[in-house]
Amino acid sequence: MSQPEVIDPKILSANASFQSGEFYIAGLSASALAEEFGTPAFIIDEDDFRSRALNFKNALEGAFGERSGKCYYAGKAFLSIEIARWIAELGLSLDVCTEGELAVALAAQFPPDRMEFHGNNKSASEIKRAIEIGMGRIVADSEIELQRINQIAGELGRKQEILIRLTPGVEAHTHEYISTAHEDVKFGFSIASGSAMAALKMASELGNLILMGIHFHIGSQISSTEGFDLAIRRAFQLLSDFRSDSGITLTEFDIGGGYSISYIEQDDPTNPREIMDHLAKTVKKESENFQFPHPEISVEPGRAIAGPSTATLYEVGTVKEVILESGSRNYISVDGGMSDNIRTSLYDAKYSVALANRISKAPKIASRVVGKHCESGDIIVKDVDLPSDIAVGDLLVTPATGAYGRSMASNYNHLPRAPVVAVRDGKARLIVRRETFEDLLGLDL
């Protein structure tokens, strides 16, 4: 018999399911995984991750044909040496935004010419390292940074290929803290204010820079296309004005990431091929409108590749019923919390959760799944109906935690960070081990 609270399959990774009430992923049960690796643990369905990565690349290439640029995996969603190897093997490119992410990529021998460097405050040493290793593209975010890249490239006797990050003034439909391209943000050069045009001119005049094109990233968890359409139109307008002023025709558009996934049943996940086909039409139409050569299009999906691939396993430690005027609520405390999933408290993000180790026929009651941190806001799933007999030692699973879960994990309250276990064809292996107290104490002097 299947679990009554079985989670909608669209939220699970491709090889995850519930069998007789137990959560299975790539043929391994939640109980077996918890026993071998402990909890909390991130379990990544390797084939799911790989196929989403490849699908996105194929969608880009299928839609844009010979005008497709690179499909960069946005490493900030989740990066480890093993993940960088998968991305390299699959032929995708990689977006890094700090020297730390770059170090992971280099440890995986990721080809530097397939990397792109982001960030609104890249330090001189980060830029130096990027140029030295032969970074494919640096995305410039401010005039100070343009000067900095130019100067360092000069000192190294190199010429660096760059993109200019635009702020196209588009507010994608998403939570405010994860929108990045409306005007009042720290990122990029505003088109509306004229600073983007000034940056293009400056970049084209600085002798050690090779200006290739533009970049924008309009937000996160976006499931409609209007924001992209508008940003693309504005980018064409800008580049066509720049061509009139300077005689220079830029040929690369990097249109960023932000493609949505399903966390809960109500979410509308992006279908990569559908959105790429739509954007290919938009680009073709606008390039005709502006009589501007069709640019080469690159994308930077992070969440859409990593997010659905991973589920977090927790063990229940305490259950407490709280009596409220409106009824009662079960507080189910697990052995992780905001240190492995900050998204609920930071963005009011919604997750699905289910009992993962057995069938329960008990009635469902209003519940809240919380962590073990000393903070009331330490909530993983705020409002959910779960079986009333969930007890100490039960396992819970929250799917779709692969993006911005482990990568935003912290050591709050000195909780060691959770491991990442890759599962494939009935076999499990650690790709990031659990942090130890020795790791933590090793920092103290």
Q: Interface residues for ligand LLP in 79-108 (CB under 6 A)?
A: 95
| Binding region for ligand LLP (CB under 6 A) out of 27-35, 73-81, 268-276, 361-369 | 73-81
Binding track over 333-352 against ligand LLP, x by CB under 6 A? ----------x---x-----
Instruction: Find where tokens 């499931």 sit.
Output: 223
Give me the least distance between CB of 389 and ligand LLP, in Å please: 33
Q: Judged by CB under 6 A, which of 302, 308, 402, 419 binds ligand LLP?
A: 302
Q: Judged by CB under 6 A, which of 67, 128, 129, 303 binds ligand LLP?
A: 303
The reply on whether position 257 binds ligand LLP by CB under 6 A is yes
The reply on whether position 178 binds ligand LLP by CB under 6 A is yes
Cα–Cα dist 219/83, whole Å? 23
Cα–Cα dist 169/227, whole Å? 9
Residue whose C-alpha is closest to residue 83's, from 344, 402, 373: 402
Which of 1, 374, 443, 445 is an active site residue? 374
Binding track over 379-418 against ligand LLP, x by CB under 6 A? ------------------------xx--------------
Paired sense of beta strands 327-334 and 189-190, if any: unpaired
Cα–Cα dist 397/356, whole Å? 6
The reply on whether position 220 binds ligand LLP by CB under 6 A is yes
The reply on whether position 223 binds ligand LLP by CB under 6 A is no
The pairs formed by 389-394 with CB atoms below 8 angstroms and a separation of 24 or more are 389/360, 389/362, 390/316, 390/319, 390/330, 390/332, 390/355, 390/360, 391/316, 391/319, 392/316, 392/317, 392/318, 392/319, 393/315, 393/316, 394/315, 394/316, 394/355, 394/356, 394/357, 394/358
Q: Closer CB to ligand LLP, residue 30 or residue 409?
A: 409
Q: Judged by CB under 6 A, which of 46, 252, 286, 300 binds ligand LLP?
A: 300
Give me the least distance between CB of 410 and ligand LLP, in Å please: 13
Contact yes or no for 23/5 (Cβ under 8 A): no
Size of the site for ligand LLP (CB under 6 A): 22
> CA–CA distance from 81 to each of 35, 88, 166, 432, 442 (Å)?
25, 11, 30, 9, 22
| Binding region for ligand LLP (CB under 6 A) out of 102-110, 250-258, 280-288, 434-442 | 250-258
The reply on whether position 168 binds ligand LLP by CB under 6 A is no
Burial annotation 232-242 (CB, 10 A radius, 16+ → b, else e): bbbbbbbbbeb
Q: Closer CB to ligand LLP, residue 371 or residue 387?
A: 371
Give me the least distance between CB of 404 and ligand LLP, in Å please: 3
| Binding region for ligand LLP (CB under 6 A) out of 33-41, 225-233, 301-309, 377-385 | 301-309
Q: Judged by CB under 6 A, which of 26, 74, 202, 397 binds ligand LLP?
A: 74
318 C-beta neighbours (distance < 10 Å), count: 12
Q: Tell me whether residue 374 is one of the annotated catalytic residues.
A: yes
Half-sphere exposure of 312 (CA within 13 A, CB side): 33
Contact yes or no for 350/265 (Cβ under 8 A): no
> Which tokens sit at 288?
């005709």
Query: SS3 of 43, please?
Result: strand
Q: Closer CB to ligand LLP, residue 218 or residue 332?
A: 218
The reply on whether position 259 binds ligand LLP by CB under 6 A is yes
Q: Judged by CB under 6 A, which of 57, 128, 137, 217 binds ligand LLP?
A: 217
Cα–Cα dist 150/128, whole Å? 11
Q: Among all residues, which ones are annotated catalytic? A: 374
Which residues make up the interface to ligand LLP (CB under 6 A)?
A: 74, 76-77, 95, 118, 178, 180, 217, 220, 256-259, 300-304, 343, 347, 403-404
